Every structure is written in structure tokens, then in C-alpha cells.
A and B are shown apart, each in its own frame.
Chain A
Amino acid sequence: MEVQKTALYDYHKNLGAKFVPFAGYEMPIQYKDGIVKEHISTRTHAGFFDVSHMGQFFLEGDQTLITALEKIIPADLNNLKINHSKYSFLLNNEGGIIDDLIITRTEKGFCIILNAACKENDIRQISQFLTENHKKFLNNNLSLIALQGPKSVEILEKLIPGVANLKFMTGNNFDYEGEKLYVTRSGYTGEDGFEISISNKKVEKFIDYLISNEVKPIGLGARDTLRLEAGLCLYGHDLNEKINPVEANLKWAIAKKRKEVGGFNGWEKIKTLLANGSKKIRVGIKPDGKVIARENTKIFSSDNNEIGFVTSGTFGPSVNAPVAMGYVKSEFSEIGTSIQLEVRGKKYGGKISELPFYKKSYVK
């Protein structure tokens, strides 16, 4: 498959981006400042992220669309208000996570933001439940920009009056340069911020404005350290088709009503897990020293039994220490449990930790 580029590719190049192949796209991993500075400037001022590789999938239809989507998404879509968003999943018949996503109710139906690496398969999976009465389209004419950090609201409000009134996980249409753009208050960093869906034609001008307000470009490298400090999962690492939401410690994301009534893929399995708990569960992990426990690091109990593995691990610039997430046998999942991490053949101490590692500051 030919490598794809976002509308901002040349713009990133001029900003000094280093590119890496990611999910079939050439994406900036970092810019001149480097990962740590990009991370810190997002936490202290604001940063922007080009996430246009993600799928912006639009669905239109009547009440039967809700019924169809609820078969594969365990959110309460019937009671989701227009312009409100939920974090949810696509589930397979075993309750495994096909993808994690944000679904927003629109005037005519829904918009689903899908992970870049999964989007084509996701659309096939969703389409199984759709009929000719439902319209679907992946909009590749739109860019998606995340603006994250404590100054985001002040900066965006000056350009697009009204965005400051949005609450976390809600959105709306706004006018910009003679076009409509859709802004949600959401993100993937643990900071207050917005995600802006904007036409490819206008996106450079929009980024010019952000840069003139000292918003730094942030690459995938800092996106990863920011989300991990915030305790947020990365699909393909912390989540996959063999892991269900109960094991992923994400049962909060299954709507209360859906937990009671079911009617979605994998419900039988998930019902049992909700009642009895799962054998393994996702936890936060803090290595004791400076050693970094990266993905696939084996986890041992203090009496040397193998109890799990790391799925994401890095150095957290804001907590100024290594941080990780992984799966352990549930009996070892209590906060504070001492564990050992095997790095380069040597065992290092660590502890099961609360998530997030870094305290969020969302506007509710």
C-alpha cells in the first residue's frame, strides 16, 4: 500500500518534523524541540497535534441506525444527546475490543473517530449491521487537529468565539473563514483541550494562527508520553481483539443501561466477567528506580512467579519518573502491590500504581 500523507505533511516538514511510518501514514514523531520539551509545553502552555490520519466516519439514519450500532458498540446511543460524545468500543463476539473510539451524536446520526490503523476494518465490522436505509462515509476531506493544554481555551476562544462554553466531551459547529467546523472539548493528553475537524483547505491557515499564539507542534512521541501519564490506552498495545473491556479496566465505558440489558456483541461473556471479575486486569505500574519497563517486559510477583506483562512503558516527563501499564493476574492488581520487572535479564522492583499518573484538569 502506498504511504499516505496528511494535508499538513509539507507544513510539518517546514517545522522540522522527523517522520515515521505509522498506520500507513508518514507522521511526525517529533519536531526540533524533541519529545520532552514538546510534552512539557503541552502541559504548561498548549500544543497542537495533527491526528488527521484518524478516521472521521459519519453515519446517518433513523432510529434503526441506533439499534444497528448498539449491536457492536456498548454505549447508550439512544440516550446520547446531540453534540455529546462518549468513549466506547467496537466489540467482537467474544467481547474483545476491535477498536476503541469516540462516538458523537450529530443532527443526522453519528460521527465516530476511529484509530488510523483500524479504520478500514472498523468500517467493515460496523457495516455488517447497517442496511440500505443508513448512509455512511469516511470523510477524507477533513483534517483533525487536537489542541491540548491549559492555554487552549483562551487561544481558541479568540479565534472561534463560543468554544469556551463547551463542556468536556461535548461539541458543536462553529463558523470559521466562511466554513463550518466541528469542535469538541476532548483529547488524549490529560489536559483541557479541543479536537477540531476542519477542511483540508483551511487547515494550514488555522495552524498559522495557533503557531502565532506560541502553540507548539507536538509529534507522536510526546503524544505517547502524554497519554500514558494520563493513563489512557493505546490500541494495538494496551488493547486488542483478545482483550475485553473488563480486563482492560474500562468497564466504566460500558453504559449502565447496556450492562443491565445487554444486546451487544460478546454480552454473554462480558456479563459473566462483570459478575465474577476477570483473571487478568490492566493496571498502572511504577518502576522503583529509573529503569524503563517497555512493552512486553515480563512482570513477576515478589516471590518470583510470572504474573503478567507490560503493554506500554516510557519515561513520564511530568511525573519525572518511568511509568508503565500492563496486565497482571487480578489477585496482584491492588494499588501498592510490590512486583518485579524483568528488564534485559535483570529483575527490578516496582509497584502497582493508581492511574492516571498525572492528574487531569478537564473542564466539566
Chain B
Amino acid sequence: MSDKKFSKKHEWVSLDGDVATVGITKHATEMLGDIVFVEVPDAGKTVEKEGQAAVVESTKAASDVYSPISGEITEGNKAIADDPGSVNTDPEGASWFFKLKIKDKGEYDSLMSKEDYDKFCKENPS
């Protein structure tokens, strides 16, 4: 499993061969507050880079989750749909959103490192 890479829309991606795992960052969950609903994509769905792929709702509002990388969904994490609060507890671990088979590793390489992402969050406070 590769290092995590990060998007400006507060998603993280890790890569294992040509399968990427995508979730939302801890910083994103802190901005959203208590997560009470999650909708993950079904296997087989094609998503484009920065295309809408999932939905996350807090007590306050609904937000789209975008895929930072193009590909075909291989699995949505049903566990977080059943227990949306778990996204607040472990957003960058067990509470990933979906996995997808990627087409272009270049899209992964162009995302931010952990260090760059932390800097980005500091410079762009919610």
C-alpha cells in the first residue's frame, strides 16, 4: 500500500497496485461535524477525476464527495453507510468510502503529499 495522497476537496487516496482507496480527511470531518448519513457508490460505476462519487451529510448539511481520481468503482464501504458516525471516529482508516480500479497513475501522482495538504488546510481555513 502506497502513501496517502490528498486533494483540495479534502479526500485522501491510497494505492495498492491499480486499485485506489478513497476517503475523506480528518480535517473534512472536523469541518462537517457529526456525520449522520453516507451514500457510497455501487461497484461497476465509472467516475471521472473530480466527479461526484458519494454523499456525506452532517446534522447541518449534505455535501458531495468527489473522486480525486478516475476509474471504475470496485466496492463501496457499506459499513459506513450502516454506521455513518464511524466516519467521524476513523476517517482515514476503517471508514474509507470506496475503492476503484484506476486508469491513470499520473492522476494519483499529481495529488498533494500529506505535508502539502496540511499546509493547504492551514492556508485555507474553512
**Which chain B positions have C-beta within 8 A of A35?**
33-34, 58-60
**Which chain B positions have C-beta within 8 A of A294?**
61-62
The listed residue with most B CB atoms (<10 A of its CB), out of A292, A294, A322, is A292
Pair B33/A292 contact, Cβ less than 8 Å: no
Pair B59/A322 contact, Cβ less than 8 Å: no
A67 to B33, CA, bound (A): 49
Q: Is A205 an interface residue (CB 8 A)?
A: no
Contact with B along A315-359 (1 / 0, CB 8 A): 101000010000000000000000000001000000000000000
The listed residue with most B CB atoms (<10 A of its CB), out of A30, A37, A290, is A290
Tell me the smallest distance from the CB of A225 to a CB of chain B, in Å. Answer: 6
Pair A36/B34 contact, Cβ less than 8 Å: yes
Candidates A221, A225, A322; contact of B37 at CB < 8 Å: A322
Q: Is A173 an interface residue (CB 8 A)?
A: no
A149 to B120, CA, bound (A): 42
A255 to B94, CA, bound (A): 56
Category for how many chain A residues contact B: 10 to 19
Q: Is B79 an interface residue (CB 8 A)?
A: no
Q: Is B55 an interface residue (CB 8 A)?
A: yes
**Which chain B positions have C-beta within 8 A of A34?**
33-34
Q: How would you classify the secondary structure of chain A's contact residues: helix, strand, loop or mixed?
A: mixed
Candidates A29, A37, A315, A344; contact of B36 at CB < 8 Å: A315
**Which chain A positions have C-beta within 8 A of B34?**
34-37, 317
Residue in A closest to B82 when the chains form the complex, CB atoms: A290
Residue in B closest to A346 when the chains form the complex, CB atoms: B39
Contact with A along B37-51 (1 / 0, CB 8 A): 101000000000000
Residue in B closest to A321 when the chains form the complex, CB atoms: B36
Candidates A221, A291, A344; contact of B59 at CB < 8 Å: A221
A308 to B57, CA, bound (A): 23
The listed residue with most A CB atoms (<10 A of its CB), out of B55, B58, B61, is B58
Q: Is A172 an interface residue (CB 8 A)?
A: no
Pair B37/A30 contact, Cβ less than 8 Å: no
Show the binding face of B for A, using Cβ within 8 Å.
33-34, 36-37, 39, 55, 57-62, 81, 84
Known: A225-B59, A294-B62. 16 other contacts (CB 8 A): A29-B60, A35-B58, A35-B59, A36-B34, A36-B36, A221-B33, A290-B37, A290-B84, A292-B36, A292-B62, A315-B57, A317-B34, A317-B59, A322-B36, A322-B37, A344-B55
Listed A/B pairs (26) with beta-carbon separation below 8 Å: A34-B34, A35-B33, A35-B34, A35-B58, A36-B34, A36-B36, A221-B33, A221-B59, A225-B59, A290-B36, A290-B81, A290-B84, A291-B37, A291-B39, A292-B36, A292-B37, A292-B57, A292-B62, A294-B61, A315-B36, A315-B37, A315-B57, A317-B59, A322-B36, A322-B37, A344-B55
